[in-house]
Amino acid sequence: MSLKDKISQPIAGVEFPSSPTITAALAYMESHSTPVVVNHVMRSAYFALIIGPKLPPFTDVSPSKLVLAILMHDLGWDPTGELVSPDKRFEVDGANAARDFLRKHDPSFSAADLQLVWDAIALHTSFSIAFHKEPLVGLASLGIFSDFLGPNNAKVLKLSKEVLTPDEWRAVEKVFPYMHEGKGIRDIFCGLCLHKPETTYDNFVSEYGVKYLPGFSVEGKQAIDIAENGLKNLKEFRK
């Protein structure tokens, strides 16, 4: 069954937004994603759509703009390599690709909305920051994190109440099932550690390299190393 068919009926009581730009974004995402990632992206979008109306300050977030950001949030994992840079974090690659896509396919998108989508994608792995930015940015990250944490995740995410029930989670997962996510995501992150390690040292991706790749090391390359070495070098200027 195609993505178009899967989203043609409500899931967990939620209607998937529809527009020519969203239709094009669905096709674009699917052509630059593995099946594992397609289902991750779609679940994340539905979880965000379910959560938004339940939790201020997200009640007024545009469903269409929210969905566009989440649909394209992992373009930096593009298996074709077309959208992957040699020197940028995968979140930045995804944000840049989404911005380029929207500029081409929807010239009516304002500069402010383009920036919102860019921020939502670039910061989606930094929930502790994204949650305190504009509502669209925070809600996108919340939907994406919910795909890794499952239902009843309020305590982990420090929310005021539960916003994703087991029944809602099961309804979405039935249509977009998990497909060896652990190995699929692990392979992607290990690939980033292998092929552009410099983009992983200042973030969580390097932890996959340390755990799963023999010989991968972050010694002397993490933020603490850079800061402490920098401060040590400053002493030379005080002489």
Q: Which helix (H) or strand (E) holds 215?
A: none
Q: Which DSSP state fits 11? A: B
Tell me, yes or no, if the pTM score tops 0.75.
Answer: yes
Token pair listed for 84: 């992957």
- Residue 239 pLDDT level (bands cut at 50, 70, 90): low
pLDDT tens digit sequence for 186-222: 999 999 999 999 999 999 999 999 999 999 999 998 8
The predicted model gives 83-88 an average pLDDT of 97
Kindly write down the DSSP assignment for every residue of 73-137, as one continuous string: TTGGG-TTSTT--SSS-HHHHHHHHHHHHHHHH-TTS-HHHHHHHHHHHHTTT-HHHHTTS-HHH
| Average pLDDT of the chain, as a whole number | 95
pLDDT tens for 6-20 read 999 999 999 999 999
109, burial (CB in 10 Å: exposed 0-12, middle 13-18, buried 19+): middle
Span of 44-53, 69-78, 227-236 with lowest mean pLDDT = 227-236
